[in-house]
Amino acid sequence: MSFQFQIEAFLKAGHPYILVVTTHGNADTGSFLISATGPASVDLMSITPTTSQPMIIPSIVPTTSSSYSSSLSSSSGVFQRVSGDPEYYYYYQAIQVTVSTSGTYTFTTDSDLDTMGFFYDTSFDPSIPTENLVTDDDDGGDIHSQFLIEAFLEAGHTYILVVTTHGDSQTGNFVVSAGGPDSVNLVSITPTTSQPITMPTTEPSHLSSYSSELTSNSAIFYRVDGDSESTYHYQAIQVTVSKSGTYMFASDSDLDTVGYFYDTSFDPSVPTENLVTNDDDGDMRLQFRIEAFLEAGHTYILVVTTHTGSETGSFSVEANGSDSVNLVSITPTTSQPITMPTTEPSHLSSYSSELTSNSAIFYRVDGDSESTYHYQAIQVTVSISEANGPDSVNLVSITPSTSRPITAVPTEPFVSSSLPTGGPASVGLRSSTP
């Protein structure tokens, strides 16, 4: 059985032996059974052995638990934490820690946030987060993504536990649990800082949108990086803003869209002229995503087209930036006309027949040299070049002449014989002419 011992030993008759039964884990208790097998019965008797010196079980100091509940919000203090991204700020809460009994204490969190803990001696300055730092932890706790800090605390001394997050600007509730030989005083404080720390302001974002569609009547052009033999429907959208800044344009469509962004003007016959940037699949679901710095009052042109030639369908464009965006459909002028290549009508002709055992035979190219093949010859004539194309095809069966006769290879008859039922095997006999 699992986790049970088995001991085998040679025992002398009349000699005493001692079997000691204990556990793998300390201080475990429970019932047990000993089975002994051998050439004779075994006497098993519990005894109390003598000891050369007294043994006492070590006393266990009871653990006292303390807890503190709070939350991180957009009103919490911010700092650039140790080992954090220098471009980001992190909300924090500073908790003053004192104990009446010296000893080793543990601190851990329980939160939906991915918490981090920093433990300081005496004081904490958010503008100098490495000063007085004793220890820190990210994911050492038993609960996923929670910190676990263990430290020896002196009675009456002041420590600071700083609770923050792994990701920047995260907010949410948390609980700190402290365990040790005595209760722990946990009090929220507002630490002083040698220099002010402020969260960088974020400008509000404005969303503008434009909806339309590409149809068979939409203008066409030969797009940059497109198939040179295909034309693409497009729509040109004039873009202007009243506030300079970086703006983002993204499409939303069942079409596989492509976006081209032009400065000042767009000439469909010269699609590389004034081109600032373009994108095919920079956004999700085969949609384009274009980011550009726009000057207030300046004119730009966004051209929406497709990845594949001649596709049609509806689409929308969303523009996002520090101000609203004016999106107006325009018909651009072109320095030379662009026309859709004409497609000649296609004519389909057909011919039906069959190959039979009476059909003519021949030794076909790349065929088996010992085999003949039935065939039918069809005379093909057209009044205009190309078969499946601009005109019908005349298909007429003919009997071609041959410079020498072709006969089928004779096949020798095959005779099958068998032994009476129960015989050893059947035999195939082929006739031959000696």
pLDDT tens, residue by residue, 370-381: 888 888 889 888
Please give the pLDDT value at position 344.
58
Per-residue pLDDT at 414 exceeds 60:
no
Question: Does the structure show a pLDDT above 80 at 356?
Answer: yes
Domains of the chain: 64-189 (2.60.120.380), 206-330 (2.60.120.380), 345-382+391-398 (no CATH)
Mean pLDDT of 169-178: 96
Digit-coded pLDDT (tens) for 128-148: 999 999 999 999 998 889 999
Residue 382 has pLDDT above 50, yes or no: yes
pLDDT one-digit tens code per residue, 270-325: 999 999 999 999 998 999 999 999 999 999 999 999 999 999 999 999 999 989 99
More confident residue, 305 or 335: 305
Is the predicted pLDDT of residue 386 greater than 90, yes or no?
Answer: no
Q: Please report the pLDDT score of residue 418 as a whole number.
A: 42
- Is the pLDDT at 421 greater than 60? The verdict is no
432: confidence class by pLDDT, cuts 50, 70, 90: very low
Is pLDDT above 80 for 383?
no
User: For the chain, what is the HEC assignment?
Assistant: CCCCCCCCCCCCCCCCCCCCCCCCCCCCCCCCCCCCCCCCCCCCCCCCCCCCCCCCCCCCCCCEEEEEEEEECCCCEEECCCCCCCCCCEEEEEEEEEECCCEEEEEEEECCCCEEEEEEECCCCCCCCCCCEEEEECCCCCCCCCCEEEEEECCCCCEEEEEEECCCCCCEEEEEEEEECCCEEEEEECCCCCCCCCCCCCCCCEEEEEEEEECCCCCEECCCCCCCCCCEECEEEEEEECCCEEEEEEEEECCCEEEEEEECCCCCCCCCCCEEEEECCCCCCCCCEEEEEECCCCCEEEEEEECCCCCCEEEEEEEEECCCEEEEEECCCCCCCCCCCCCCCCCCCCCCCCCCCCCCEECCCCCCCCCCEECCEEEEEECCCCCCCCCCEEEEEECCCCCCCCCCCCCCCEEEEECCCCCCCEEEEECCCC
Would you state the pLDDT for residue 158? Answer: 98
**Average pLDDT for 194-217:** 84
The confidence band for 88, taking pLDDT boundaries of 50, 70 and 90, is confident
**pLDDT tens digits, 69-84:** 999 999 999 999 999 9
pLDDT in tens, 107-128: 999 999 999 999 999 999 999 9
pLDDT, residue 148, reads 97
